[in-house]
Structure formats: C-alpha cells, structure tokens
Amino acid sequence: MEFATKTIHAGQPSEPETGSLIAPIFQTSTYEQDSPGHDKGFNYSRTNNPTRQRLETVLAELEGVHQAALFASGLAAENAVLQAYLRPGDEIVISLDVYGGTYRILNKVFQPLGVKVTQLDASDLAGLEKAVSERTRMVWIETPTNPRLLVYDIAAICKIAHAQGALVVVDNTFATPYFQQPFELGADIVVHSVTKYLAGHSDTIQGAALAKDPGGPERIAALACDTDGIDGTEDNAGAIVYPNTIARAEARGIAIKEAMAANDAYGFFAALGDLVMTGPTLTNVNDFRAILVLAA
C-alpha cells in the first residue's frame, strides 16, 4: 500500500457489529466478560481500548514495526521509555540540541535518581565514539532537532552505539515516518510527539513510542498502564491526518527552495542556516529547512 493509504486502512477494518466504515469512539472504562477472567480482548481502558488499538496499529505500520504504545503526551512516552530501560548507574548520551522537555526530564528527574546524563555534539562521530562506553545504556537523538533542525547520521550513530551494546532512541517527531524511517537505519526505539506533525492540526496532545524488539512496546506500554500515562479515546479517533498536510508542506518547501535558488536569496538563506546549524550538511538538510521552516 502507498503511505497515505496505510494511514486510513492499516488496522482499520469496518466495525464488525454494524459494518460501519468508520469505527466508533469507544468511550468506556470497562468491558463485559464472557465469564470471570475471560474477556473479549479488552478488560479495562487504562490497559487497552479498541480506539487506541487502531491508532497504535496504524503508527506501527507507518514506522515498519509490529506494535506501538500511545501516551497522553510526547513527554509521557519519553518518560515510559526512560523508566523501562534506565537504572541508577546507567549512562544516557544525548545530543546538544534536544527538545527542552527531554533535557528537563533527564536532568531534573532521572539524573537525581542516579542516571548519568552526557550531552555532546552528535554530529562529531569521533567524539561520540570516545564517549560511548560499556556503561552507556542509551544514546538519544532527535533528527531533525527541535528547534534548530540539525540533522544527524542515524546509521553511523547506531553503529557506534551498538558496538558498545547501547540502545539508540530516535525522536522522529519533526521528520515523521513520511520522510524518515529510523528503524531501517538501525534505531532500536522511536518516539513521537504526536501533537505536532503526526496529528497535523494542533488540537490534541499525544505521544507514542515504538520499538524494534517485539517485546519492547509491551514493556513500555505496561508503564503507561501502571503509571497512568494514557491518552483519551477522543484523541485517538482522528490523530493521523498528516500525510496531506505534510505532502503540501513538502511541495511548498521545494517550490520555495527552487524559487530562491533562481536568485541570490537562496544563497543568503543557506548561509544564514549554516550560521545556526553545526551538524553535518546532508543532502536533504536544505529541503528540511525549507519544508519545516518556510512552509510549515
């Protein structure tokens, strides 16, 4: 299936009771059981819910893995990932440019609990290789970053981290699976602030976490249940509408880039961007600038 088709068909069959093409929003806390301890696949909506399950299936399909876990926000998803894998004495390496909420939760919550937080320039692969050690449990990057839109080499970073047995987490919020497939490049875990480009319409707060390891999402989702980090069913119903939005942004961004390239304005824009960007200049970095800055 084409990408846009997956967003409306993956894991979304017609509703079995009525045949409705659009499934209802299941606003329920509990579910009838056939007998004590024998349910129909759902028992309590803090644990699982048909509406949430549909959205999780779509996200997993778009990112190319088997399962996703949804949360009340991007930070709730990040917290579950960090709680699932980090223990006192572990080290996490993060890039210099990282979402403010990620920086705060690591330095204000996890560091006081005994987690070592090391921040460095993720574009400096030699420096990263020296920094990552057997103590390093996790390497966490965003690419493009929020807010500076730095682009990092996911495959190279994964190679360095995996050589020391560390997991690689990629925040794919700004690129989305439409532009970037971190799992294909070696990432172990992907997180999203669904609030932004995935939802595309600024009317919901939501997060997601996905893992390559089949047991990973279950491990992470268990924390959503146990710590009550779940989102509301209304937020699940219409979250994925972004392909049309981001495809238009892509087209506008490329059109702007081509128009600027026809005169001196593009050279000025590229030079200005290089002043604030210290990461590697990959082939698509200027497209990202145009798409995400000028055409958003």
Q: State the catalytic residue, choosing from 6, 46, 148, 219.
A: 46
* Residue matched to tokens 């024998």: 38
Q: In the predicted model, is pLDDT for residue 237 greater than 70?
A: no
Instruction: List the one residue out of 75, 70, 15, 30 whose CA is nearest residue 236.
Output: 70
Name which residue leads in pLDDT, 110 or 39: 110
Q: Return the amino acid letter for 155.
A: A
Q: Is 85 a catalytic residue?
A: no
Rounded Cα gap, residues 236 and 84, in angstroms: 23
pLDDT in tens, 50-76: 888 888 888 999 999 998 999 989 999
Positive or negative: CA dihedral 277, 284, 124, 102: positive
Q: Is 171 a catalytic residue?
A: yes
Rounded Cα gap, residues 68 and 12, in angstroms: 15
Q: State the catalytic residue, choosing from 52, 54, 99, 289.
A: 99
Do the strands 207-211 and 68-71 form a parallel or antiparallel pair, or are they unpaired? antiparallel
Q: State the catalytic residue, choosing from 196, 219, 266, 287.
A: 196
Cβ atoms within 10 A of the Cβ of 203, count?
10
Instruction: Assess contact for 78 and 207: CB atoms under 8 A.
Output: yes
pLDDT in tens, 275-295: 444 433 344 444 455 544 444
Q: Is 40 a catalytic residue?
A: no
- Residue 167 dihedral angles phi and psi, to the nearest 5°: -85, 150
Domains along the chain?
A: 3-237 (3.40.640.10), 242-294 (no CATH)
Q: State the catalytic residue, choosing from 171, 188, 231, 235.
A: 171
CA angle 23, 27, 29 (to 5 degrees): 130
pLDDT in tens, 174-203: 999 989 999 999 999 999 999 888 887 677
C-alpha to C-alpha distances, 96 to 119, 138, 165, 190, nearest whole angstrom? 6, 15, 22, 19
In three state form, how does the secondary structure of 141-161 look?
A: EECCCCCCCCCCCHHHHHHHH
> pTM for the full model?
0.83
Paired residues of 94 in beta bridges? 119, 140
Q: Is 212 a catalytic residue?
A: no
From the centroid of its chain, how far is CA 16? 31
Instruction: Assess contact for 243 and 202: CB atoms under 8 A.
Output: no
Rounded Cα gap, residues 126 and 262, in angstroms: 37
